[in-house]
Amino acid sequence: MDEESGLGLDGDDFYELLLRCHEGLSEEDSHALNTRLVLLMAEAIGDIEVLDKLLRAAKESGKSLKNNV
């Protein structure tokens, strides 16, 4: 996961689009949007090995945070 960033120089553009997409939504609607987004991104990635790696990376980072607190 530490290889060359896939977003490259577009990171700030993506983050702005992401926040704009959430603008004005209730917390509940934002979480529903995130859920749909995960499913759409999974379909776009389309590689079960990559997805498995991403799922574990996301869970791992969550754990390290909880341990630090």
Partner 1 sequence: MAGYAYEPFGYSKPPGLDKNEPVHPVVIIGAGPIGLALAIDLATKGVKSVVLDDNNVVSVGSRAICWSKRTLEIFDRLGIADRMLEKGVTWKVGRLFHGDNEIYNFNLLPEDGHKFPAFINLQQYYVEQFLVERARDFPDLIDLRFLNKVINHKDTGERVSLLIETPDGAYTLEAEFVIACDGAGSPTRKRMDLAFEGQNFDEHFLIIDVELDESPFKTETAERWFWFEPTFHAGQSALLHKQPDNIYRIDLQLGFEADPAAEVSDERVLPRIKAIIGEKPFRVDWKSVYRFRCARLKEFIHNRVIFAGDSAHVVSPFGARGGNGGIQDVDNLAWKLAAVLKGDAGDGLLESYQEERSLAADENIKNSSRATNFMTPKSQIEREFRAEILNLASQHDFARKLINSGRLSVPCSLKGSSLETVSPNAVVEPGTAAMDAPLKNGANAEWLLGKTGGDFGLVSFGRKPDVAALGMPHHHIVEMCDRHKDSLGDVSGLAMKRYGRDLTYLFRPDQHVAAVFKNPSTMEIEAAKRKALGHG
User: How far apart are the C-alpha atoms of 21 and 24, rounded to whole Å?
Assistant: 9
Helices (H), 1-69: 11-22, 27-45, 48-68
Contact call for residue 39 and partner 1 (CB under 8 A): no
Q: How far apart are CA 34 and CA 18, in angstroms?
A: 10
Quick check: 49 binds partner 1 (CB under 8 A)? no
Query: Does 19 help bind partner 1 (rule: CB under 8 A)?
Result: yes
> Can residue 5 be called a binding residue for partner 1 (CB under 8 A)?
yes
Residues lying near partner 1 in the complex (CB under 8 A) are found at 1-3, 5-7, 11-12, 15-16, 18-19, 22-23, 25, 27, 30-31, 34, 57, 60-62, 64-65
